[in-house]
Structure 1
Amino acid sequence: MSRFRSLLQASVNATKKALTWNVEEWVPPAEKHIFKFHSKEDLKKWHLYSDSEYGGLSSASLEIPDKEDGSDCTGIFSGNLSVDLSEGSKWNISRSGFCGMRSKKFDGFIDLDGYDAIALRLRGDGRCYISTIYTENWVNSPGQAEDNSWQAFVFAPKDSWYTAKASPTTSIDIPLARYLPTWRGNVIDVEMEMNPGRVLGMSLSVNAEGGAVGAKSGAGDFRVEIDWIKALRLP
């Protein structure tokens, strides 16, 4: 009888262990690094764009400074926003004054299934930036053959890393539910759901006008330091 109980207990323990392994494999880690900005190699994964491609006069750069004191390096996205057009421009654009940085195409997808939010660690200039997620166009929208794009505003506090939770390492957390479907920068009124398992890339951009109430706006210089971008599972 004792031998039978031992075999039964061993079987129960083995089953519990197997179930634990399966749960651990199914539940993703609490956070997942998507992009980091700690070296020049990290910056090669991004490209810049601005209204200058359409006759505007805005400019942008993405750099990482060399620090002799050995402190951690972070990427700096900066430039100048202009609402003017170059003389003799052949383009008829409805608005200028925008710059952005977008991740380059890569093989495969970023799988964010199981995650609830995007986190960015930023130190900004008081402007409002736009975080964009590009997903595979699995829902055919009228007249839209490009990737689906989803956008949310990001306020970058001036001269300090974001410290909403009184911690110098706390980031700006944006629930995925706050990202709205857009078409060429405008929110569209369609029934769509993001497919977080098929993320094709991301971008961070800034406009001269618009954004959160109280945020800095208008033409002029912009500058934001970016440490990393992660996906989070919220409690």
Structure 2
Amino acid sequence: MSRFRSLIQASLNATKKALTWNVDDLMPPCEKYIFSFNCKEEIKKWHLYSDSEYGGLSSASLEVTDEGDGFKGLFSGTLSLDVMEGSKWNISRSGFCGMRSKKFNGFIDLDSYDTIALKLKGDGRCYISTIYTENWVNSPGQQEDNSWQAFVYVPAGNWYIAKASFEYSGTHIPLARYLPTWRGNVIDASMEMNPARVLGMSLSVNAEGGVPGARSGPGDFRVEIDWIKAVRNE
């Protein structure tokens, strides 16, 4: 009987070990590259937008450059608060530009991660990181994707790994800190992001607003981008 119990225990231990190995083997890596601006082809994944589509006078460009330290993305341009004379659009504000990724081929599943990290070299302005997810409501009146936004403050001059937050902090900020927005405004709604159904991302900049201490106002902007990752910290 003792020998029989030993055989059963050995079998259970072997099964437990095999199951543990399989779980570890299936666990996604602790970091997942979403975008890496390591070649000129990368800009084909993005398109630009600005207030110029609605009568504003801001402008932006996106290119991949190599200044001796490898390829990097460069998002730059000019923010203007002015509005084109005679514009048919009755816009209440101008002074924004953005780069938005084209929709992914299907979805990106970020359910195993808790942070979005960006390696940037900026100009002291505050930028806005946006995550687009599948709309919870599939109705004729709700065709736009859900958008979730967080401020990313980019100190001037040096490469900086920023972890996005709506209120800038140097500590770990989870994905849960991205707030639901509607056309750039935070909405008061009980919504929860579905990180398993991410459709795309954007990085944008406004002439006004942002975090205290960040550069603001009309004028030039410039931010270099090395990569955007999803990170699991826990």
The two structures have a TM-score, normalised by structure 2, of 0.88
Rounded Cα–Cα distance in structure 1 between residues aligned with 2:62 and 2:50: 13
Letter in 2 for 1:210: G
Q: Which residue of 2 aligns with 1:198?
A: 197
Structure 1 residues 169-218: Cα deviation after superposition (integer angstroms, max 9, x where no partner)? xx996421110000000000011000000000000000000000010000
- CA shift in 2, pair 1:34/1:204, >3 Å: same
CA distance in 2: counterparts of 1:18 and 1:223, whole angstroms: 52
Amino acid at match of 2:151: F
Over 3 Å counting, the alpha-carbon distance change for 1:174 and 1:52 in structure 2 is farther
Q: Determine which of 153, 156, 161 is the counterpart of 1:155.
A: 153
2:101 pairs with one of 92, 103, 107? 103
**Corresponding residue for 1:182?**
181
SS in 2 for 1:193: coil
Identity, % of aligned positions: 77
Aligned counterparts of 2:104 and 2:161: Cα–Cα separation in 1: 33
**What is the deviation of 1:107?**
1.9
Deviation at 1:25, TM superposition (A): 4.7
Aligned length: 228
Structure 1 contact 118–173 (Cα < 8 Å) conserved = no
| Cα distance in 2 for residues equivalent to 1:179 and 1:47 | 22
Tell me which residue corresponds to 1:54. 54
Where does 1:36-55 land on structure 2 (aligned, <5 Å)?
Answer: 36-55=36-55
| CA deviations over 1:92-145 (Å, ceiling 9, x no partner) | 11110000000002321010012111001111000000000000012579x643
In structure 2, relative to structure 1, the CA distance for the partners of 1:217 and 1:202 (3 Å cut) is same
The one-letter code sitting in structure 2 at the alignment partner of 1:84 is D
2:4 corresponds to 1:23: no
Letter in 1 for 2:159: W
Residues 36 and 19 of structure 1: CA distance in aligned 2, closer, same or farther (over 3 Å): same
Q: Which residue of 2 aligns with 1:168?
A: none
**Kept in 2: contact 1:79–1:222 (CA 8 A):** yes
How much has 1:38 moved relative to structure 2? 1.3
Structure 2 segments unaligned to the other structure (5+ residues): 163-169
Task: Return the alpha-carbon distance in structure 1 between the equivalents of residues 207 and 172 of structure 2.
Answer: 23
* Higher mean C-alpha displacement, 7-16 vs 145-154: 7-16
Q: Secondary structure at the match of 2:65?
A: coil
Structure 1 stretch displaced more, 32-41 or 179-188: 32-41
What corresponds to 2:206 in structure 1? 207
Q: CA deviation at 1:64?
A: 1.3
CA–CA separation in structure 1 for the residues paired with 2:111 and 2:134: 14
> Which runs of 5 or more structure 1 residues have no equivalent in the other structure?
165-170
Alignment partners' CA distance in 2, 1:116 and 1:163: 16
| In 2: Cα distance, 1:173 partner to 1:55 partner | 39
Opposite residue 78 of structure 1, the aligned amino acid is: S
Distance 2:42 2:4 in 1: 59
8 Å Cα contact 2:75-2:222 kept in structure 1: yes
Q: CA RMSD, aligned part only?
A: 2.5
